[in-house]
Amino acid sequence: MKTLHISEVVFATDCSQLVKMVSTPTEWPAFTTHMEEFLRCKEYFSTFTVQHIPRAQNTMADKLARGARTKPSSMVYVDSVPPRWLSAQEST
């Protein structure tokens, strides 16, 4: 999205816990490292929203997720810049 110069994004998820974690990161200390990376990536966008939608209304994402689980993949991260936590692990 950075390459395409998309500056306004809305992500929809059927995981209400994810929405809560993103909305109140200080209440989720176990995810501090991941939240730091998330907040760093969030800075690239002028408007960034994560919203909850009920699973019944999320049929396309559900279909994509089910399809992804059936196909083995070694890809775990997609970006032109590695996350800080990954870089830190490689240097130790």
Span 31-90, pLDDT tens digits:
888 888 888 888 888 998 888 888 888 777 777 777 777 776 655 555 666 667 666 655
User: Tokens in use for 57?
Assistant: 């209304």
| pTM more than 0.85 | no
Phi, psi of 47 (to 5 degrees): -130, 125
Nearest CA-CA partner of 40 in 79, 12, 10: 79
Vertex 81, ends 80 and 87: CA angle to 5°?
140
Span 2-23, pLDDT tens digits:
788 888 888 888 888 888 888 8
The rounded distance, in Å, linking the Cα atoms of 88 and 41 is 17
